[in-house]
């Protein structure tokens, strides 16, 4: 990724404007709620927090992820972190600027956050496509049988 493209993506992500006519996904959200199966350091009294990846900076050897931490009833907190860096209960494990995603460990749970979002309606799975084709074939056959029956009844 070129330096100017990386800067444009970061600026566009922060300003929520398209880059070169392409829409830029601004946020990738992942809600983290403490659970009983989480490691011992997770306290049940800890509030639900949401991590948001707001940008990735990739300029030569300077690579950082811009994160926003949202907690109910609190102002959002912002962190700019490098891979391997820890801030509170968040550890940034990896930054993949080519795929616009990061891997974080938050309260003992490893998760991936991404800037990319699908533009337009969601793509159907192969199973859904096959089911739709089968359904269409059924209706086509049923319509032909109905026409044949109507022809027999009318005496054609």
The model's pLDDT over 37-96, given as tens digits with 9 standing for 90+, comes to 444 444 455 567 788 898 999 898 899 999 998 888 889 999 999 999 998 889 999 999
Q: Which residues have C-beta within 8 Å of that of residue 130, sequence separation ≥ 6?
A: none
In this structure, the answer to whether residues 129 and 97 fall within a common structural domain is: no
In this structure, the answer to whether residues 89 and 156 fall within a common structural domain is: no
Q: Domain range for residue 128?
A: 124-156
In this structure, the answer to whether residues 35 and 97 fall within a common structural domain is: yes
In this structure, the answer to whether residues 15 and 52 fall within a common structural domain is: yes
In this structure, the answer to whether residues 46 and 90 fall within a common structural domain is: yes
Say whether pTM exceeds 0.85. no
Q: Is 119 domain-assigned?
A: no
Question: How many structural domains are present in the chain?
Answer: 2
């Amino acid at each position: 990724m070129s330096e100017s493209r990386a800067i444009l993506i970061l600026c566009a992500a922060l300003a929520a404007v398209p880059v070169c006519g392409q829409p830029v996904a601004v946020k990738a959200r992942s809600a983290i709620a403490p659970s009983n199966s989480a490691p011992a350091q997770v306290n049940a009294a800890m509030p639900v927090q949401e991590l948001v990846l707001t940008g990735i900076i990739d300029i030569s050897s300077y690579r950082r992820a811009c994160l926003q931490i949202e907690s109910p009833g609190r102002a959002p907190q912002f962190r700019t972190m490098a891979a391997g860096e820890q801030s509170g209960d968040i550890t940034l494990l990896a930054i993949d600027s080519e795929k616009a995603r990061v891997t974080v460990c938050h309260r003992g749970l490893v998760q991936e956050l991404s800037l990319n979002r699908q533009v337009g309606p969601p793509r159907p799975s192969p199973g859904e496509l096959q089911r739709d084709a089968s359904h269409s074939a059924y209706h086509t056959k049923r319509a032909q049988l109905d026409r044949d029956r109507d022809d027999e009844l009318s005496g054609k």
